[in-house]
Structure 1
Amino acid sequence: MNSPEPPKPMTPTGKLRAAQSLRDSAWALKAAWLRHKHPDWTEPEVEAEVRKAFAHTRD
């Protein structure tokens, strides 16, 4: 039985793209959850709350 090949190491550019993709997914999921929880909120309110939620993630 053949073993699967291990993944190839990612280039720095590949790592950056993966990180950006994960960040974009996290923002989209947070925005969707906020829209579900607060259907009366406007889009600017949702965007402001998403920004606030992720404001300290760089620490």
Structure 2
Amino acid sequence: MRRPVSEAAHSGGSRPVEDARRPGPPIDIRDLQECEACGTKMYGLHCKIVCPNCGYKRDCSDP
């Protein structure tokens, strides 16, 4: 008995080839910044960039 294509593509735990070609979600440059005080990855909150570790804050318009 033959399996449907969708089952055959997923057998063995590998992902289908078409998933590898899809672009990921857009990257916000604010998500890539590290805290100047402690080095923890900061996150964006409205127009502020905040460190969850030490509380350091930057405005998104700061260079």
Return the index of the structure with the highest Cα Rg. 2
Asked if TM exceeds 0.5, the reply is no
Greater share of helix: 1
Q: Per chain length, whose mean CA-contact separation is higher, i.e. which structure has more relative contact order (CA < 8 Å, sep 6+)?
A: 1
